[in-house]
């Protein structure tokens, strides 16, 4: 199998689709890996590291798509990349089709492609291996981001997270109760923040409370409680995830207006449209904006800031899947690997997710019927 890794640095993306170690594993098992020059530089990997381990270095994105059966991407494909996709290719990466442009989807469907989204690969126990692994990183990053943007020089409230003798700690409000929220809660509590989590799944909230030995305050995420907690938050983190769907709005503009000036919002759901009404996409180069007097941090590829760690995590997850596909073929792999089958957005040019088909008024075909024969 021919596998392509494109250079995505033009999209302010620092992560690479595959580490040299992951490429080496695939090459050792008889596959050819084409790596576009510079793909790993922002993650600290040189072209020579890839080539020394058997990967072939190519110099244009056109070559990556032209030579590969399967292409790995991190950020969703842009206009140029959609045009370069070849007929019958398999696309692996973060696609977030629920917030994609219909013209992109239609263009890809015409090429009879198959699209697998890392963000919706889901195990039988409903765990999301790709999302959860990166969520552990993103949750930890919330501490560093909060410490930076609460400083006076950044326009923040001028407070430290843990407080000091006679001065109380910052109040951190986390909306959500999954892995992302759990990681953020652990980091903020560990730094001494007064931390409150709001969610709608009692079992998950109970797990969070038990994990923190009762130090975490938990509340049901009703509109009343969300509005009340927004008013007292120094740090408000949106960590709501609905796999393959647009994130619901949990914090309205009216709620944001009541927040303390100079407090911080981190919308970790921005990849899927954001869960805070005032959020809009930012980048690692310009990560914040101020709306209603509140600092907003809304970077979609947040773990790209720690690109080497994130690249290793993604590579360790995807390499075994690629080996399975190389051995069994895509159809047979999907028949035997339910988690991967759950991650299929499009199969052979047909949309395999009903919510996506309905959202864009396009034809839907059940993945199980697509795999027959």
> How does pLDDT run along the chain (373 residues), one tens digit per residue?
999 999 998 888 999 999 999 999 999 999 999 999 999 999 999 999 999 999 999 999 999 999 999 999 999 999 999 999 999 999 999 999 988 999 999 999 999 999 999 999 999 988 899 999 998 999 999 999 999 999 999 999 999 999 999 999 999 999 999 888 999 999 999 999 999 999 999 999 999 999 999 999 999 999 999 999 999 999 999 999 887 788 999 999 999 999 999 999 999 999 889 999 999 999 999 999 999 999 999 999 899 999 999 999 999 999 999 999 999 999 999 999 999 999 999 999 999 999 999 999 999 999 877 776 5
Which pLDDT score, from 0 to 100, does residue 18 have? 98
The residues pairing with 9 across neighbouring beta strands, listed in sequence order, are none
* 96 carries an active-site annotation: yes
Of 61, 73, 15, give the one whose Cα is nearest residue 36.
Answer: 61
Which pLDDT score, from 0 to 100, does residue 373 have? 56
Q: How far is residue 195's CA from residue 184's CA, in Å, rounded to a whole number?
A: 10
Enumerate the domain spans of the chain.
2-120+306-370, 134-300
Which pLDDT score, from 0 to 100, does residue 371 have? 77
- Written as six digits, the tokens of 175 are 């909306």
83, 17 Cβ separation under 8 angstroms: no
Return all residues near 272 (Cβ < 8 A) that are at least 6 apart. Answer: 96, 98, 99, 119, 241, 242, 245, 246, 247
Return all residues near 292 (Cβ < 8 A) that are at least 6 apart. Answer: 253, 256, 257, 259, 278
Element (H, E) at 296: strand 294-297
Half-sphere exposure of 258 (CA within 13 A, CB side): 12
CATH class of 2-120+306-370: alpha beta
For the chain, the helix, strand and coil percentages under 3-state DSSP, each to the nearest 5: 45, 15, 40
Query: If you count them, how many residues does the chain have?
Result: 373
Out of 96, 234, 267, 296, the active site residue is 96
**134-300, what's its fold?**
Rossmann fold (3.40.50)
Q: How far is residue 55's CA from residue 48's CA, in Å, rounded to a whole number?
A: 9
Out of 95, 194, 267, 271, the active site residue is 271
State the pTM of this model. Answer: 0.88
213, 101 Cβ separation under 8 angstroms: no
* 271 carries an active-site annotation: yes
Which pLDDT score, from 0 to 100, does residue 372 have? 66
3, 299 Cβ separation under 8 angstroms: no
């Amino acid at each position: 199998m021919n596998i392509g890794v494109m250079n995505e640095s033009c999209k302010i993306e620092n992560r690479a689709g595959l580490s040299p170690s992951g490429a080496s594993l695939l090459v050792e098992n008889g596959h050819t890996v084409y790596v576009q020059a510079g793909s790993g530089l922002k993650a600290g990997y040189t072209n020579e590291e890839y080539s020394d381990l058997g990967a072939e270095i190519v110099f244009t994105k056109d070559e990556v798509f032209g030579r590969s059966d399967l292409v790995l991407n991190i950020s969703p494909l842009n206009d140029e990349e959609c045009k370069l996709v070849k007929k019958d290719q398999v696309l692996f990466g973060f696609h977030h089709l629920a917030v994609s442009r219909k013209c992109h989807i239609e263009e890809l469907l015409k090429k009879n492609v198959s699209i697998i989204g890392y963000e919706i690969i889901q195990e039988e126990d409903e765990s999301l291996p790709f999302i959860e692994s990166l969520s552990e990183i993103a949750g930890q990053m919330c501490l560093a981001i909060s410490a930076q943007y609460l400083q006076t020089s950044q326009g923040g409230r001028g407070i430290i997270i843990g407080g000091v003798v006679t001065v109380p700690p910052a109040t951190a409000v986390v909306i959500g109760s999954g892995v992302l929220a759990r990681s953020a809660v652990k980091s903020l509590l560990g730094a001494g923040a007064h931390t409150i989590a709001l969610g709608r799944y009692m079992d998950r909230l109970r797990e969070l409370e038990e994990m923190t030995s009762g130090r975490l305050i938990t509340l049901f995420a009703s509109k009343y409680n969300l509005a009340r907690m927004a008013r007292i938050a120094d740090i408000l983190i949106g960590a709501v995830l609905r796999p393959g769907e647009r994130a619901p709005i949990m914090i309205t503009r009216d709620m944001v207006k009541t927040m303390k000036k100079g407090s911080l919002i981190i919308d970790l759901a921005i990849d899927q449209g954001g869960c805070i009404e005032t959020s809009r996409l930012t980048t690692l180069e310009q990560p914040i904006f101020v709306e209603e007097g509140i600092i907003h941090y809304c970077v979609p590829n947040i773990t790209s800031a720690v690109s080497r760690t994130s690249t290793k995590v993604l590579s360790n997850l995807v390499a075994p899947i690629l080996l399975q596909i190389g051995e069994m073929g895509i159809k047979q792999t999907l028949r035997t690997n339910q988690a991967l089958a759950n991650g299929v957005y499009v199969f052979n040019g047909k949309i395999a997710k009903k919510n996506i088909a309905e959202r864009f008024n396009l034809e839907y075909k059940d993945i199980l019927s697509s795999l027959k024969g």
